[in-house]
Chains A and B, each alone.
Chain A
Amino acid sequence: MSIRILAALAIATAGAVVSSTAAAISPAELQTSLAAEARQADPAFREFSAQRGETFYRAKHGGDWSCSTCHTDNPAMPGNHAVTNKAVKPLAPAANPDRFTNPEKVAKWFKRNCNDVLKRACTAQEKGDLVAWLLTVKP
């Protein structure tokens, strides 16, 4: 095998590693995979509800915080962290197109924030409802 081929292979492999961690998705693709997950958990699952998502967003779920505590009543607006006051960028994709495009970040923040607000993991139905509503929020 020539050095040139080896070098090309090395570059291709390195590229694959980078793209596998950075593979961007659209919020619609996220909804498709959440829907598959929701159907698996409950065969009676039909579709996500933006209205249920909004109720979920504003509820305190028995604790001190709701989603809106940091993300504000209007998720198209920037917010502030409840403890540290650090700026939080808007959550609604229409106001911040980076939101819900990186599956690793989506998983990380749902895990953390669901634990903070609900003291448990969110279901696929809850996540899908929430994203369905956020996609309807216009700046």
Chain B
Amino acid sequence: MKATLLSAFLLIAATGNALAGSHVYGPFPADYVEECGSCHVAFPPQLLTAPGWQRVMEQLDKHYGADASLEDKRRTAIADFLRRSASTRDKHAPTEASARLSRTAWFAREHGPTPPAKVSFAECTACHTAADRGDYSERSIKLPAGWRRAR
């Protein structure tokens, strides 16, 4: 029993899952951070389901208005990591063809329908000031003056 619990814990730690409620993710593999953290922070893989990540990785050449294509070997390795670390919960399922992480039911509930002025939902660090370290905890949030989450 103890051994089972211990190995379950180690498995959670190894896949980079945030412990329940901590809102801190990672660390992530270096190639994931390098390839998926150049134009935006490396998003926590736990915030989208495996079918969602698959959709994202299948259209990297048309990645939300930019070409983010990767050579096959790296793409396969990263797709594999995302599939292994993905969420299995419905609230993290994609809701449209491009599978934007910012359009899941969970994201909409947490953030409302529109980001603050002049900020894109892809710019996590605009409010989550430690997002580049995988830290989305309440204490690191700094909202723009006057902004309220719409419902």
Q: A83, B120: Cβ atoms under 8 Å?
A: yes
State the majority secondary structure of interface residues on A: helix
Band of interface residues on A: 10 to 19
Of residues 93 through 137 on chain A, the ones whose CB sits less than 8 Å from some CB of chain B are 104, 108, 111-113, 115-116
* Chain B CB within 8 A of A61 CB: no
Band of interface residues on B: 10 to 19
Closest CB-CB distance, A79 to chain B, in whole Å?
A: 12
State the majority secondary structure of interface residues on B: loop
Closest CB-CB distance, B135 to chain A, in whole Å?
A: 17
- Provide the B117-130 mask, 1 if CB < 8 A to any CB of A, else 0: 00110110110000
* Chain B CB within 8 A of A20 CB: no
- Provide the B62-91 mask, 1 if CB < 8 A to any CB of A, else 0: 001111111100000000000000000000
In the bound assembly, the distance between CA atoms of A112 and B35 in angstroms comes to: 12
Q: A112, B126: Cβ atoms under 8 Å?
A: no
In the bound assembly, the distance between CA atoms of A116 and B125 in angstroms comes to: 24
Q: Which 4 pairs between the two chains have the least Cβ-Cβ distance? A: A115-B67, A112-B67, A84-B40, A84-B122
Question: What is B's interface to A at a CB cutoff of 8 Å?
Answer: 38-41, 61, 64-71, 119-120, 122-123, 125-126
Besides the known contacts A86-B125, A108-B71, A111-B67, 13 further A-B residue pairs in the complex with CB atoms under 8 A apart:
A81-B39, A83-B39, A83-B120, A84-B122, A85-B119, A86-B38, A86-B123, A104-B71, A112-B68, A112-B69, A113-B67, A115-B61, A116-B66
